[in-house]
Amino acid sequence: MLTDTAFEKLYQSGNDASSTSNVISSISWVPKGAFKLIPTILADSMTEPPKDPKEQQDDDDEDNEMEDSEMNDDEQVEEEETSKIGGLEEISLEELLYKSVGGKNLTMYENNEQDPYLKGRGLSDSSEEEDFELKATDLPLVAIHNEEDGLTTLQVWIYEQEEDNLFMHHDLLLGNYGLCTHWLNLSSISQPSNCIAIGTFEPQIEIWDLDIVDPIEPVMILGNETDSKKKKSQSMGHKGAILSMSFRSSDSKLASGSDDKSIVIWDLSNQKPFYQVKGAGASPIQSVQFHHTEQNILLACPISDHVCKVFDAKQQNSKPKSFNLQKFNNVFPDIESAIWNPNNPYEFVCAQDNGFITCFDIRNEKTPVYNINAHSGASCSSISFSNLKSNLMASVGSDSCVRLWNTKTSTPELVYTKNVKKSMSDIYSCAFAPSTLNDDIILAYGGSGGNLSVLNISLLTSQSYN
């Protein structure tokens, strides 16, 4: 995610997106197979989707009845006099079609492909569908691109693993500077199964259906707008920018951390706050994450409190466990991101702006498991664990470096480094693909310059990675 320094610079500039450089601020993989192979394409985002023919006919009948009732007597007489032209009765197109098929009922279809008489005859709109058609082997990736001119887009990228090729499939213009993303499957609450949640400088969370190209509006918006003049907002919910999110799939709950120093757990079934921790920290909540097995346990890290906190979300107003960071050169670090270790249910790791990565065991609040200088002289902005290869951790930072670590040993061992300074001077986000062909290990990372890259670690030689 955006480093603390980059975030503060942007926030102090009045949330003006054009004041910061061209960046990829957040990335999220979409599980392989989650996308529809042929997404829904709206012909014109300013028009409504076509109605069912029966509903359209009912609407037309109602409109005709209203028009007839508004006509005055003179207009009715004039219509009767002109209803016959040259002795021939004027009939509608529907009546003409009805008579042309010998009085048989017509069957209408939403598109040509559903019409059995037109199948395989070359559909006029097939070329556009082919442009957006996906393959079952494609690996989709979503990124937030904040441009220099103040525009923010949600980009959908496709990584073709067999060809080692990355390309942008389509994008969507957003209304606010994007800060964080999280993929969601909402099928359990009768919502789309392929969604993306987006946090911005606004106190709301937008959730979009990724299976629709150029959608008109989000599937849902969590939170109410704050009236800056009246200073009124909902009693529960955020009042500041959304900095981080985590999804609990077992009961469709979404946790969010905010610049307003609070944590909200949203019930997506009714789109309302379920639980809120106000004053979760003395500074903005930079990172939140549900535990991967004990899903009532929530990790939360304020940016500049120099402490990570672990909450029990089942207990209202429970006192969290606190894990203090260590000084470096007599200066406390700020937290950039924090995640649970999927290889050890008791451990979590946090990345800091002084380049260190610290690991804690929740059974020991006093002493960290390890504290390594992962990106010396730079900020470590993001970390990720692979769920396809045990004990493999990736880190990225403002030193333009992507690093891979073996965390099986008591102190992580550096096994690979890649410098990408030519394409991006600062790397803000990284993430391992959750599912791939042949369980290959694939890492995506993005940052300054609006650049996004994918590293297929399985293609590296044994000399550079083992």
The model's pLDDT over 33-66, given as tens digits with 9 standing for 90+, comes to 999 999 998 754 444 444 555 555 565 566 555 5
Is 120 within the bounds of a domain?
no
pLDDT at position 230: 45
Q: What is the mean pLDDT of residues 111-117?
A: 55
* In a domain? residue 20: yes
Q: What is the pLDDT of residue 418?
A: 96
> What does the mean pLDDT of the chain come to?
83
Does some domain include residue 129? no
pLDDT digits (tens, 9 = 90+) for 368-392: 999 999 999 999 999 999 999 999 9
CATH number at residue 9: 2.130.10.10
Average pLDDT on 174-191 reads 96
Whether 141 is covered by a domain: the verdict is yes
CA dihedral of residues 412, 416, 419, 425 (deg, nearest 10)? -30
The string of DSSP letters for 399-411 reads: TSEEEEEE-SSSS
Structure confidence at residue 122 (pLDDT)? 41
Instruction: Examine the pLDDT at 11 and tell me if it is beyond 90.
Output: no
The residue among 172, 195, 183, 188 whose CA lies nearest residue 36 is: 195
Entry pTM: 0.78
Determine, yes or no, domain membership for 172.
yes
Measuring CA to CA, which residue among 392, 463, 465 is closest to residue 430?
Answer: 392
pLDDT band at 126 (very low <50, low <70, confident <90, very high): low
Name the percent of the chain lying above pLDDT 70.
73
pLDDT reported for residue 295? 87
At a CB cut-off of 8 Å and minimum separation 6, what does 314 contact? 296
116 is a domain residue: no
Structure tokens at 426: 């600062």
212/172 Cα distance (integer angstroms):
10
Identify whether 66 is part of a domain.
no
Evaluate whether residue 276 is within a structural domain: yes
Please give the residue range of the domain that contains residue 173: 4-39+134-459
392 vs 389: CA distance, rounded Å: 6
Residue 15: is its pLDDT beyond 60?
A: no
Evaluate if residue 252 carries a pLDDT over 60. Answer: yes
pLDDT digits (tens, 9 = 90+) for 319-364: 899 999 988 888 999 999 999 999 999 999 999 999 999 999 999 9
Total structural domains within the chain? 1
What lies within 8 Å, CB to CB, of 251 at 6+ separation is: none
